[in-house]
Amino acid sequence: MKATLVVLLFAVSAIAQDQTAISAAEAACGSKDVKFEAKQDTNQHPTSQPEAGKALVYVIEDLGECSGCAPNGNSFFNDVDQALTRVGVDGAWVGANRGSSYFFLATDPGEHHLCIKWQSRLAFRSRAFAMANFTAEEGKVYYFRERVFPGEHGDYSFDLDSVNSDEGKYLVASYAFSVSHAKK
């Protein structure tokens, strides 16, 4: 009986620790109540260089291409081609991407924590997220690529990677600019 109680106590403690770790990690994101509207703007294609005392961060949603898909064919690609992902930095949502698109933001030098999270009315999709951290240096440009992958049971996962400047510039040149704002 005592052994069962001890095991149960450790199990409850482990669950509490996991929840604490998850909450700490999610602190890179933003409030669950903030929702965005975003659209691709194919008429403008802005790029920038860092302003004095800042670093510049590009976040690129790269959904790739569906090579070999029949018209109306690949349900995975058709299902995610307009995915709206919110982007958080250090605990605040700063923008969003819709579909294969990009946006950029200036940030202060120092350590930063990025978060992307799928914004969807469907609960199982809204659980899809990814995180990354980096240390920004004044005058530098950073590129992060977000990608979505199908799971085994109709769920999805995201990946958020730092990419080198050559690939980052290529992706920015290849995709539309994302214009986003928080819904009121």
Do the Cβ atoms of 115 and 95 come closer than 8 Å? no
Q: Whole-prediction pTM value?
A: 0.80
Q: Report pLDDT digits (tens) over 41-63.
A: 999 889 888 999 999 999 999 98
Those residues whose C-beta lies under 8 Å from the C-beta of residue 12, and which sit 6 or more positions away, are none
Ranges 40-44, 67-71, 165-169, most confident? 165-169
| Three-state SS sequence of 125-174 | HHCCEEEEEEEECCCCEEEEEEEEEECCCCCEEEEEEEECHHHHHHHHHH
Q: Look-up: residue for tokens 């409850």? A: 12
Q: Look-up: residue for tokens 């659209």? A: 39
Residue 81: closest CA among 91, 73, 92: 73
Examine residue 88 and state whether it is found in any structural domain, yes or no: yes
21-30, 65-74, 99-108, 127-136: segment of lowest average pLDDT: 65-74
Structural domain containing residue 102: 28-65+73-182
Examine residue 129 and state whether it is found in any structural domain, yes or no: yes
Examine residue 4 and state whether it is found in any structural domain, yes or no: no
Residue 117: closest CA among 36, 56, 21: 36
Examine residue 7 and state whether it is found in any structural domain, yes or no: no
Examine residue 19 and state whether it is found in any structural domain, yes or no: no
Number of structural domains (the chain) is: 1
